[in-house]
Amino acid sequence: MNWCINPDCSKPYNTEDTRFCQACGSELLLAERYRVIGLLSDKGAFGKTYEVLDHNSDQKSNHNTLKVLKVLTDYQSRAVELFEQEPWVLSQLNHPGIPKSEGTFIFSCRNNEINLHCMVLEYIEGLDLEEYQHQHKKHPIDETLALEWLSQLVKILHVVHQKHFFHRDKGDHLPVEQICWYDAVEFCARVSQKTGRTYRLPSEVEWEYACRAGITTKFYFGQTITTNLANYDGHQTDTDGSQPKGIFREKTTTVGSFQVANAFGLYDMHGNVWEWCADHWHENHQGPPSDGSAWLSNNEDRDRLLRGGSWLNSSAYCHSDYRNMKLPPPERGGGVLC
């Protein structure tokens, strides 16, 4: 099977004898030598990893060698910079458990203005943990084997850290997500206790005031939003069709990565993750407390307020005045921006 690496392709699977993707028209023989035969991982913070055949690797024996292809799907300048540095970083490391880079190239997809940064890596034989568990019918891993794996991992990390290189794990800089309303309240309470300062969820009125920062337009940067300004699903159109289409990153982005703050210095108030408010849900704004505090009811089981939109939604959900609701437990879906 041939895979198309166009992130916007609706049907990336093609037959072996196909030169161009039947769905989007993108070329399937990358850099005139690499043919993608399988997806290894799409869970990375920066991109996707594929298994490829190198048709130029051993022309004398007519043998195609397996390689690994990393494709960057995070197009922010910092991500591209780190990706371009990686071949040099790998060249400084010498360990059988660390793959060697065999070059980079840029691939242009058909009907897509974005150029994909690609890197070819040495293929190292072995199973990942998921494959191992599947092969062994999910039986518990033997303790001796688990300790051996950990020992190998520690040795690899030691090699990396000796060279003063570190993993590009962006977890500490990503917004907290998939937490219920009570989790968010508890987080604020614990931070307050630890710091001696008061942290709490904002009321809906406070949230909108902070988001707008004195602006009356749909967004704090004007009437128009693009996926260069915020993280949302750019493939979907706004309700009135007024917003341009863009990309769909399919994940959260690092806090402040768009470097577009409002007049109060706040980032990511539109998109990325929904943000919990302290209020119970009410159908409209008629009747909230005049002091801007949370509008609560006597029924604690009522839905709570969410504002701001998310990476999964269209730009319509990201408007400064868009209101959403969700029942706290057992549902999860909001987050806290710090």
In this predicted structure, what is the pLDDT of residue 169? Answer: 46
**Percent of the chain residues topping a pLDDT of 70:** 91
In this predicted structure, what is the pLDDT of residue 53? Answer: 95
State the average pLDDT for the chain.
86
Does domain 171-338 bear CATH number 3.10.50.40?
no
Q: Output Rg (C-alpha) for the chain, integer angstroms.
A: 24
**Percent of the chain residues topping a pLDDT of 90:** 48
Q: Tell me the pLDDT tens digit for each residue of 146-193.
A: 888 888 888 888 887 777 565 554 556 788 888 889 989 999 999 899
- 225, 219 Cβ separation under 8 angstroms: yes
Mean pLDDT of all residues in 132-159:
83
In this predicted structure, what is the pLDDT of residue 176? Answer: 86
Instruction: With cut-offs at 50, 70 and 90, classify the pLDDT of residue 14.
Output: very high
Mean pLDDT of all residues in 29-43:
91
CATH code for the structural domain at 2-122: 3.30.200.20
Mean pLDDT of all residues in 38-59:
81
For residue 287, is pLDDT > 90? no
More confident residue, 168 or 121: 121
Q: Tell me the pLDDT tens digit for each residue of 223-263.
A: 999 999 999 999 987 877 788 889 999 889 988 888 899 99
For residue 330, is pLDDT > 60? no
Among the listed ranges 137-146, 186-195, 207-216, which one has the minimum average pLDDT value?
137-146
For residue 138, is pLDDT > 50? yes
Instruction: With cut-offs at 50, 70 and 90, classify the pLDDT of residue 49.
Output: very high
More confident residue, 292 or 168: 292
In this predicted structure, what is the pLDDT of residue 136? Answer: 84
Delimit the domains of the chain by residue range.
2-122, 129-162, 171-338
